[in-house]
Amino acid sequence: MTLLPQEIIRKKRDGAALSAAEIESFVQGLVAGSVTHAQVAAFAMAVFFRGMAMDERIALTRAMTQSGTVLDWGSLDLPGPVLDKHSTGGVGDNVSLMLGPLVAACGGFVPMISGRGLGHTGGTLDKLDSVPGYTTQPDLDLFRRAVREAGTAIIGQTADLAPADKTVYSIRDVTATVESIPLITASILSKKLAAGLQALVMDVKTGSGAFMPTLEGSRELAESIATVATGAGLPTTALITAMDQPLASAAGNALEVRNAVDFLTGAHRDVRLLEVTVDLCAEMLVLGKLARDTAEGQARIEQALASGRAAEHFARMIAVLGGPADFLEQPERHLPAAPVVKPVFAGTAGTVGAIDTRAVGLVVVALGGGRTRPQDAIDHAVGLTGLAELGAEVGPDRPLAFVHARSEAAAEAAEAGLRAAYRIGEDGEALPPVLERIGGS
């Protein structure tokens, strides 16, 4: 019996639960072209208002996963588990650049399919595009070779991985249904399941720079993703981490890559960034059965960092995917640099009491380091470094940050935006870097 898309929409509009067969039929129709974009928009709005039970979310995730190619790593005979991490995004969140090499140094394999930045959040692919020669859209053979040889490869989504998600997301973006947690869950997990993973760790941000600014919203999303992923056959743990201030002391593409190089080589490690990265990696090692518990996982990650093995895996990934062979040793030789660098001072001396982290991200966007439309060009050199943390003392000799700009006029505009984003006054209480752990059930 043919399942008419309008009847599936009607059923969800009226608040009834959809069967797995109905959901599969709708997604198959979308890929085949028998379901129109108008019907997808109506379906998304019905889900936005009526929601979906966990069984429906699992069915939608599976159907979207099966809408295209599902990678299989079995033919490579890898001597370790295939693992990944996904973040809901934020400002100064360059964790992926260190996490992949760290887990690889401990015996895991991390084929990470990442995205570009949009709005105030940075994108991992935009960061890696600042590395000359690095291929963020390799063919499948090169992707597989990089994973085998370097233990990790960070690339963009290919056209044949979860194609239904691309269509649904583009329609959600223009129909005010992006915030639907069932649709967010299926969007994230369909791509991860299509990547052929054996386990996943989610980094769900909360705070002023997060997609979900409230802890309640972040917890609801984390629970949905962990439960649906595990139900769809992908063991998943979620950590809720703080985005009430930039995670790294740098924000901007090339600047965050340099921050990652300094992190891996030991030249400089931001304390909060270190804690979040180590905890996420440890969870991955536990899920991949490379560590008995998180304490052992943390110890293994810290040893991989201290020994330099993680830095070696990073350098190998860069080289295999077309970047400079000496990138780790001479990042300043290869990364683009802005012509104008100047400190930004607060209007008054005192303690950083609060940070509008989203506004900090928008300063980077205004400098040219982010995009408000998918087609916008990126200036990889611009951004911010030396960002003051919550509780830090600032004054005439302690700036809020350093602006890296293309022109004096752009630097002045960034100064004004940054001062407005920082509140100087009573010492604000920063959230712990990692707030909660949520396991799938």
214 is catalytic: no
Whether residue 124 lies in the annotated active site: yes
Q: Which of 62, 127, 144, 192 is catalytic?
A: 192
Rg (CA), the chain: 22
What type of residue is 82?
Answer: V
The residue type of 9 is I
What gap in Å lies between CA 171 and CA 44, rounded to an integer? 8
Q: Any catalytic annotation for residue 187?
A: yes
> Which residue in the list 57, 172, 300, 334 is annotated as catalytic?
172
Q: Shortest CA distance to 357 belongs to which of 217, 247, 202?
A: 247
Give 438's Cβ-side CA count (13 Å radius). 23
Catalytic entry in 187, 190, 218, 249:
187
The pair of structure tokens assigned to 132 is: 């000359």
Catalytic residue among 12, 57, 62, 85: 85
* Active-site residue (options: 57, 61, 67, 84): 84
Residue in 88, 124, 237, 249 annotated catalytic: 124
Active-site hit among 12, 191, 219, 258: 191
CA distances from 147 to 105, 192, 314 (A): 12, 16, 11
Whether 120 is a known active-site residue: answer no
Handedness of CA 279, 369, 385, 344 (dihedral sign): negative
Other beta carbons within 10 angstroms of residue 186's beta carbon come to 34
Annotate 167-218 with DSSP letters as a single string. Answer: HHHHHHHTTT-TT-HHHHHHHHHHHHHHTT-SEEEEEEEESTTSSS-SHHHH
8 A C-beta contact, residue 317 and residue 152: yes
Q: Which of 12, 57, 62, 86 is catalytic?
A: 86
85 is catalytic: yes
Rounded Cα distance, 384 and 417, in Å: 12
Is the CB of residue 362 less than 8 Å from the CB of residue 356? Answer: no
Q: Out of 25, 65, 67, 87, pick the active-site residue.
A: 87
Angle between helices 163-173 and 20-32 in degrees, nearest 10: 90
- In 2-53, alpha helices (H): 5-13, 20-32, 37-50
Instruction: State yes or no: is 84 an active-site residue.
Output: yes
Q: How many residues does the chain have?
A: 441
Element spanning 285, H or E: helix 271-287
The whole-angstrom separation of Cα 19 and Cα 31 is 19
Bridge partners of residue 433, in order along the sequence: none
3-class secondary structure per residue, 116-151: CCECCECCHHHHHCCCCCCCCCCCHHHHHHHHHHHC
Whether 372 sits among the annotated catalytic residues: the reply is no
Establish whether 165 is a catalytic residue: no
Q: What is the DSSP letter of 243?
A: -
Of 100, 72, 87, 83, which Cα lies nearest the Cα of 198? 83
8 A C-beta contact, residue 264 and residue 98:
yes
Say whether 172 is catalytic: yes
Could you give the count of Cα atoms lying within 13 Å of 122 in the half-sphere of its Cβ?
Answer: 38
Residues tagged active-site? 84-87, 124, 172, 187, 191-192
